[in-house]
Amino acid sequence: MSLARKKFNEYKERSDHIADAELDDFWATLRPATVDDMIGEWKGGEFLTGHKMNGQLEQAGWFGKTFKSATDVQPLVCMDADGNKFSNKAMGKGEASLWLEDFRGEVTATMVYDGQPVHDHFKKIDDDAVMGIMNGKGVLDNGRYYYFYLERV
């Protein structure tokens, strides 16, 4: 098991709040994701930092994200009451696409929502997991980012 995977597992299992600085340090150790790295279906989760968005996606029944291609992304795949997956276009204000963007001095795969000023930047933990930082107007919590992860289905 890689050091990155070991550290990710520790963060994922933590029930207490994780400091943003600790996640930023972890982020800095990871390789930028490419658009090709992101293609596929992913199950999502969040890191508990005390950000205003913590718990909101879970309440909406968020399952994860599906990247069919660079121009065909379902950013908010949710589960209905019967356990069926659906793309929650209302919550996401449409769908999304993947781009390469500079974030913190590195070019990395970034999911850009079609209908709102939100960008999710990704870095690889390994071939089956990525860390995400959600960035954009309305997402920042007093300048703080929202930290999450995706694991390949």
Domains of the chain as residue ranges with CATH: 3-152 (2.40.128.580)
Q: 85-144, pLDDT tens digit by residue?
A: 999 999 999 999 999 999 999 999 999 999 999 999 999 999 999 999 999 998 999 999
- Measured CA to CA in angstroms, residue 84 lies from 78, 89, 95, 151 at distances of 8, 15, 18, 19
> Each residue of 2-50: pLDDT tens digit?
999 999 999 999 999 999 999 999 999 999 999 999 999 999 999 999 9
Give the position of tokens 């199950």. 43
Angle at CA of residue 26, ends 20 and 31, nearest 5°: 130
